[in-house]
Chains A and B, each alone.
Chain A
Amino acid sequence: MSRSWVRRRPVSSLLLVLLAALLAWVWHERLALRAFPDILGAYSAKEYCSCRYVMHNPAEYCLGYVRQYLSLSQFADEPEQRRVTASGLGRSHSAAWLGKREGCRLAP
């Protein structure tokens, strides 16, 4: 990229610099970005499970309790197994009640 090219195409040059910065940031944050879509489903499954089966709050209340700005695409509460599955942003996570002292835990 010569100086004259930059002078002739200032907008494209700026966009290229921004793109490079964006790619560098994506690389730098690759671990966090890969994990990011998991937060919604994992948070919802774990905290709903504890709300419902540890704190013994009503199901309807617990749904409101875990509600976020982004909504879930799927949600399933299986009372017999005390297992909760929540999906959002293309990822799905489950949490299950383990015992009276242990409460709930997110599945691996």
Chain B
Amino acid sequence: MFNGSTLLLTVLLLVTLPVRAEHWPGEQWSQGPAASGPALDALEAYAFVPRDDTTRAGIRTDALLVIRDGQLIYERYAGPTTADTPHLTWSVTKSLLAVMLGVAYGQGRFQLQDKVATFYPPLQQHPQISMADLLHWASGLDWQEDYEYAPLNSSVVAMLYTRGHQDMAAFTAGHAAFSAPGQAFRYSSGDSNLLSAALKNMLGTPAYADYPWSALFDPLGIRQAVWETDAAGTFVGSSYAYLRARDLARIGLLMQRDGRWGERQLLPKAWVDFCRTPFSGYQANQDEAVPGAHWWLNRAVQGAAQPWPDAPADTFAALGHWGQALYIVPSEKLVIVRYADDRDGSYRHNELLKRALLAFGRQGRP
């Protein structure tokens, strides 16, 4: 019998089936099957060492959370951090900024080759710098990123705390050039804040002040996010976004699924591809991973080995000071959030990824 109601039922089934096959978080993440066993013990032995808040030595994980195929399968907190803590992400913020810029890009507000000075006039002394150059940390501006070991000459310390803190983009624009734009990679928090200031002028001040929420956090169901601004009202796109671990994982799932959130293509897939394409001006071993567009890639370039040899080549990440990380492994459908307070640099991305993949990846699955 092929009457109207059977037809309707069939159509309904066809429409709902692909949706049902995929897990997405609602107000909360749905729980997937919990892992256990020696591989998980080995991961925890690495990540959760007893803490010494006097010496602050060693690996000091604040939060570790794992999403597999859209479901929460592991979550643990330490120190003062809980599931409700909007944790400082430091330079993970830069990748959040890139996601937010992807929404603006999808709205047709700029093209990659657009000159930044058209949106941000204080950069007119460097008229050739394009949006793509800033996204690659290749402005050519003579910036010194060192945080703690050379505080006198650190551009980033001056920007955040002394000469630049009132208007971080203007402080960056005041730097001289060391190379032509787009040629050489030099990691720069200043480049990120120029992007943030450019976005402000694209959108206008009132829309910009709401944009992280209207464009990104609200559509993803992120209800508790803080993004600090400088005195000029520019979001500190280099450093100062705060999210709960469960919410940063939503950004990870969005990127794992090529910019799609449920039925909605929030970022163009082409934007995610651009973020995940190695910058051609990067020289092997210049940094701890390979820069794409404001994201870090586990790619072998120029004959050098992959930065994280024990993780698949499609692994990419947002990385921040003191061990903050959002790792995405699309081939394993894994999203891993790590918050930390690592002060001595002993933490290794590769070691955590290796152990997490054994505990939660395909090879480690029951």
Q: Out of A38, A42, A55, A58, which one reaches B86, CB within 8 Å? A: A55
Q: Please, how many angstroms separate the alpha-carbon atoms of A55 and B166 in the complex?
A: 22
Chain B residues within 8 Å of A16, by CB: none
A76 to B81 CA separation, bound complex (whole angstroms)? 24
Secondary structure at the B interface, as helix, strand, loop or mixed, is loop
Category for how many chain A residues contact B = 20 to 34
Residues on A with beta carbons closer than 8 Å to the beta carbon of B56: 64
Which residues of B are found within 8 Å of A108, using beta-carbon distances?
166, 231
- Segment with Cβ contacts to A, from B102-110, B190-198, B200-208, B221-229: B221-229
Structural contact, A58 and B151, CB atoms closer than 8 A: no
Taking the nearest CB of chain A, how far is it from the CB of B237, in angstroms?
Answer: 14
> B86 near A35 (CB under 8 angstroms)?
no
Q: Please, which residue of chain B has its CB at the minimum distance from the CB of A65?
A: B341
Q: Determine if A64 and B53 form an interchain contact, defined as CB atoms under 8 angstroms apart.
A: yes
Chain B residues closer than 8 Å to A33, beta-carbon distance:
152
> Once the chains bind, are A61 and B226 in contact (CB under 8 Å)?
no
Q: Across the interface, do A106 and B86 meet the contact criterion of CB distance under 8 Å?
A: no
Within 8 A of B (CB), among A58-96: 58, 61, 64-65
- With A29-B152, A32-B158 as given contacts, are A54 and B242 in contact (CB-CB < 8 Å)? yes
Q: Is the CB of A106 within 8 A of B226?
A: no
A-B contact count (CB 8 A): 80
Specify the chain A residue showing the minimal Cβ separation from B164: A35
**Cα–Cα distance between A55 and B163 once the two chains are bound (Å):** 26
Interface string of B124-140 (1 = CB under 8 A from A): 00000000000000000
Residue B316 lies at the interface, judged by CB distance under 8 Å to chain A? no
Assembly CA distance A61 to B80 (angstroms): 8
Q: Given contacts A55-B87, A101-B213, is CB(A36)–CB(B151) below 8 Å?
A: yes
**In the bound complex, what is the Cα–Cα distance between A29 and B160 (angstroms)?**
19
* CB-contact partner of A54 in B53, B86, B161, B163, under 8 A: B86
Given A36-B152, A55-B85, A105-B228, 19 more A-B residue pairs with CB atoms under 8 Å apart are: A32-B152, A35-B162, A39-B157, A39-B162, A42-B161, A42-B162, A42-B165, A46-B160, A51-B88, A54-B86, A54-B88, A54-B242, A55-B87, A57-B80, A61-B79, A64-B54, A102-B228, A102-B229, A104-B228
Which residues of B come within 8 Å of A, CB atoms?
53-54, 56, 79-81, 84-88, 151-153, 157-158, 160-163, 165-166, 213, 225-231, 240, 242, 341
